[in-house]
Amino acid sequence: MISQATSLAFFIAVVPTSPSYEYLEAMNARTKKLLTRMIMIIGSFYVLICLLAFFLQEKLIFFPEKLAAEHVYRFSIPHEELNFSMKDGVRLNGVLFKADSARGTIFYLHGNAGSIDGWGELASFYVQEGFNVFMLDYRGYGKSGGSISSQQQLFDDVQAVYEDIRRRAGEDSLIILGYSIGTGPASWLASRNNARMLILQAPYYSLTDMMGHNYPILPRFLLKYKFTTNKFLPLCKMPVVIFHGDADEVIYYGSAQKLSRLFKEKDTLITLQGGSHNGMSEREDYQHAFRQVVNR
């Protein structure tokens, strides 16, 4: 028989004992080195994303369709093509859609993609309702020259063109209407002028708010285009009407709800039940509500 002492010696020989201090130290050093390397890789990747977001933000925000200078618009609605020279020599292009016996003019600032060539047919509803509609292509869009390079540049362009349209139409009959990305410039424009009404379709609270909502890991100071609708709206003296679908998948509906808390008396938020981001002007509920607000 194997003695008890022999059994104990055998057990100690085959069962590993606790790691030595030196072994633990070596393991800790390797783990620290691995973690440091991983943190450096992740940090470098994050910095790269931030740099790309900063330097490429125009390409991430604006998606223009460029048209040749000789392009001919073929809208079914009576229209006139207009060109405007900016202070730096860049020429911007717009189209004025004409109603019979117009009772006002809508100054329409479209979304971030395409050009008037695609947006123009939206004017048909408003023309049928008795409004002229002026649509502007931003720099780099459609037949407009140059490219967007700063928020103030875009605002200055919009103001310069607005002044021309104001001289033609008279400001007391002008309605400023902004859709999606156009709601920020439209709110800024309305805050500095005296149009009859401001209509915002699917507005954001601000682009910094949108950035925080959609990309919370990115620092907001990277954004050059703040488009602080929330700061412009309280400065607007005219009636403000917001239309927003409660199923908007691009600009969250809560943006409009937050903006409505800044309303003065008689400003209005109209919720389009089940409404998504696109196709707002073609919806029957929108068209019915539009008729009501402009006939007040």
Tens of pLDDT along 19-51?
A: 666 766 766 777 787 888 888 888 887 888 888
The candidate with the shortest Cα–Cα distance to 199, out of 159, 156, 172, 239, is 239
Q: How far is CA 166 from CA 4, 194, 211, 221, 230, in A?
A: 107, 10, 34, 35, 25
DSSP secondary structure code for residue 287 in this structure? H
The candidate with the shortest Cα–Cα distance to 111, out of 182, 38, 187, 49, is 182
Report the relative pairing of strands 91-97 and 131-136 from DSSP bridges: antiparallel
Cβ atoms of 134 and 160 within 8 Å: the answer is no
DSSP secondary structure code for residue 18 in this structure? P
Helical segments of the chain, H only? 4-14, 21-55, 57-61, 116-119, 123-128, 151-169, 183-192, 207-214, 229-232, 254-260, 284-294
Per-residue pLDDT tens digits for 108-141: 999 999 999 999 999 999 999 999 999 999 999 9
In the chain, DSSP finds a helix count (H) and a strand count (E) of 11, 10
Per-residue pLDDT tens digits for 91-117: 999 999 999 989 999 999 999 999 999
What pLDDT does 24 receive?
65
Cβ atoms of 133 and 97 within 8 Å: the answer is yes
CA distance 50 to 60: 13
What are 263's two structure tokens?
């309303």
The answer for residues whose C-beta is within 8 angstroms of residue 75's C-beta and 6 or more apart is 95, 97, 120, 121, 123
Cβ atoms of 251 and 202 within 8 Å: the answer is yes
From the number of C-beta atoms within 10 Å of its C-beta (0-12, 13-18, 19+), residue 188 rates as buried
Q: For the chain, give every domain's residue range.
A: 1-55, 63-294
Q: Up-side HSE of residue 82: CA atoms within 13 Å toward CB?
A: 18
What are 262's two structure tokens?
């800044």
- The CATH architecture annotation of domain 63-294 reads 3-Layer(aba) Sandwich (3.40)
CA distance 186 to 176: 6
Cβ atoms of 272 and 251 within 8 Å: the answer is no
Q: In the structure, what pLDDT confidence band is assigned to residue 13 with cuts at 50, 70 and 90? A: very low
Cβ atoms of 9 and 15 within 8 Å: the answer is no
What average pLDDT does the chain have? 91
What pLDDT does 197 receive?
98
DSSP secondary structure code for residue 34 in this structure? H
What pLDDT does 12 receive?
43
pTM metric for this prediction: 0.87
